[in-house]
Structure 1
Amino acid sequence: MRSLIKNAGKKAADKARGHNDDACYARPFEYVIGWKSDSIQLGDHMGTQRGIGSDYRGTINLVDYPDARRMDLRQTIRDPFEQVKVRQFNQDSTTPIYAVCDVSGSMQFRGRQRKLDTAIEVATAVANSAQQAGDLFGFIGYNQQVLEDYTLPLSRNFHQSKQTIALLHDYQHLRIGVDGVTEMPDFLGQTRALVFWISDFHMPLAQIEKTLLAMSAHKVIPIVLWDDEEYKKLPKFGFGTMIDLETGRNRTLFFRSEVKAKFVAAFNARRHALENLFMRFDSPALFMHGDYRPELMTHYFEQAM
């Protein structure tokens, strides 16, 4: 679905706003990993590697795992071969975390604030949350193609990650599409990761489905950024100029209640279609209509995971 965006006569983007780490700080949230990580690095999530942790995996002979501190006296007494038994646990491990950000033309839409600025705040919050949990973090920006200047591989260099994300505050390109989304999965690692896909998803459903299929090895969290001024707060009566930010084409419409109702109905139908598509991939969407709030993200994981 192509998005017709209301031109309210507002400025296209913010100018210099001192976009450093502090200016782009966003409060972290709590996320949940629904699988066991196979990473060998110590972290906060249940893993598959043997080591220090709370995930009990059984007992083994002391000669095979010589750690007398973990001796299981009860199992040792019961063993018919009189072998000394020790408890084994899986260590808590790290998990790769990605923020994937759509920077196509439609993300330049400005209601109370620009969609892209909201996306930047969400991506920064993901980085801060990964830092808090001790996980690795990577960032990918795309529009017509994957933007390598705005793409960073997995690392613990959170300072560089947040600086790179903050640079998008000055990114202002209207007439640019979103075809790079199908290239984006190639920039994800092979290890199962938690991927926060941040976009307004004003792109064909077939394109979204193709991308989800390419990311099937990962757990995808779609963050859908919509603004009420896109469709709920259109004029009830009178002329209005709409602009398709993907193509830059203008269109003047005469609004009345019936036209406004059609826009609202179209967006509602679009929402249902997106929800159904994401649920097919076990990736329930989080629709974010206002400012970023960490409790909204935390609640999502409490409910969906």
Structure 2
Amino acid sequence: MEEFDYRIRWRSAEVLPGAHRGLRDGPGSEFHGHVGLLGAPDPRRLDLRASLAMPGGGWLFRRTRQTSGIGVVLLADVSASMGAGAAGAVKGAAGGGHGISPDAGAGRMALLARLARLTGHSARHAGDSFGLVAADTAIRDDLWLAPSRAPGAIAEIADRLDGFVPTGHGHAGLIDAADTLAGRRRLVFVASDFCWPIDDVERLLTALAPHQVQPIVLGDAAAEAVPDWRGLVEIDDAEGGAARAAWLRPSQRARWQAALADWRVGLAASFAAHGLTPLHADASLAAEDITQWLAEGG
């Protein structure tokens, strides 16, 4: 199984050892000052040179910090837009109209499942726990994984995502999911198409501010394309759940393209305001892509 490398920007306070810089004293190679004879010293770490140089005498022992584990979480958007493609968005109105295979938007959920496998395996290899919280209008209890290092649990939750058909019209549950992460700082990967109002993106990023957040924008070319069609069509709003008829003409298509461009600019600005550089992922996503993104300060 592929895996990617990641680093954290803070010191972990976790008790369990791992691969990251920690706050706790313990076995390790990072020097953290000296302790006297009465400070519960480790006799193996006697610093003879420092002891001899100490005015008034006395024994000094080296203190070191242990490397610690962390909690890695994948916060997954499973709202209806994650399963919607152009077919679900625009359909011919009156028989014989335009249409695209209903599987056009299925790529995002397959990509999300692959990301869960990659992240879970990478966390486990690093000695960290992996948890997954999925949400649409509410947190999905059937797609929830408590922090675990068990490979079977990680494989099972990824398989559930792979077979899940999104139907929830909304993403409010993601804000609630962020609140469940209160406590110790975590590395949080947020995977979504982010096809929401920018104000809602801001709310989510603000709620996740205590953590190290790594946003991943899941793309699907078929779902994001503005169809070059003309005539009467039925438009489904995957997030809102509403459907309406519209006469599709070049001017309308131009307005949609402009709105899509504005949304992309707004999304980029929102991430930048929080000091975040998202990874734009599609079906070709590989572990080395994530490693490179994180190494470059993603």
TM-score range (shorter-chain normalised) is 0.7 to 0.9
Deviation, 1:97, is: 0.5
Aligned match of 2:199: 206
Q: Which one is further off, 96-105 or 204-213?
A: 204-213
Distance in 1 between the 2:249 and 2:3 partners? 41
Aligned match of 2:154: 161
The code of the aligned residue for 1:116 comes to M
Query: What stretches of structure 2 of length at least 5 have no aligned partner?
Result: 86-103
Deviation, 1:223, is: 0.7
Whether the 8 Å contact between 1:106 and 1:202 is mirrored in structure 2 is: yes
Whether the 8 Å contact between 2:83 and 2:106 is mirrored in structure 1 is: no
Aligned match of 1:197: 190
1:56-205 matched pairs, under 5 angstroms: 56-110=31-85, 111=104, 113-174=106-167, 176-205=169-198
The code of the aligned residue for 1:287 comes to H
Cα 1:148–1:180, aligned 2, differ >3 Å: closer, same or farther?
same
Distance in 2 between the 1:221 and 1:241 partners? 36
The code of the aligned residue for 2:21 comes to M
Q: Deviations over 1:55-91 (max 9, x none)?
A: 2211222332322221222211211121121211110
Whether the 8 Å contact between 1:242 and 1:253 is mirrored in structure 2 is: no
Cα 1:158–1:202, aligned 2, differ >3 Å: closer, same or farther?
same
Aligned match of 1:303: 296
Cα 1:175–1:216, aligned 2, differ >3 Å: closer, same or farther?
closer
1:13-24 matched pairs, under 5 angstroms: none
Aligned match of 2:13: 38
1:209-228 matched pairs, under 5 angstroms: 209-228=202-221
> In the alignment, is residue 249 of structure 1 matched against residue 249 of structure 2?
no
The code of the aligned residue for 2:213 comes to V
Whether the 8 Å contact between 1:150 and 1:165 is mirrored in structure 2 is: no
Distance in 1 between the 2:105 and 2:80 partners? 17
TM-score (norm 1): 0.83
Whether the 8 Å contact between 1:46 and 1:92 is mirrored in structure 2 is: yes
> Secondary structure of the residue that 1:148 maps to in structure 2?
strand
Deviation, 1:112, is: 7.7
1:232-247 matched pairs, under 5 angstroms: 233-236=225-228, 238=230, 242-246=235-239, 247=241
The code of the aligned residue for 2:243 comes to R
The code of the aligned residue for 2:7 comes to V
> Secondary structure of the residue that 1:149 maps to in structure 2?
strand
Distance in 2 between the 1:155 and 1:189 partners? 18
Cα 1:174–1:130, aligned 2, differ >3 Å: closer, same or farther?
same
Whether the 8 Å contact between 1:175 and 1:248 is mirrored in structure 2 is: no
Deviation, 1:119, is: 1.0
Cα 1:134–1:244, aligned 2, differ >3 Å: closer, same or farther?
same
Cα 1:182–1:254, aligned 2, differ >3 Å: closer, same or farther?
same
* Percentage of matched positions with identical amino acids: 27
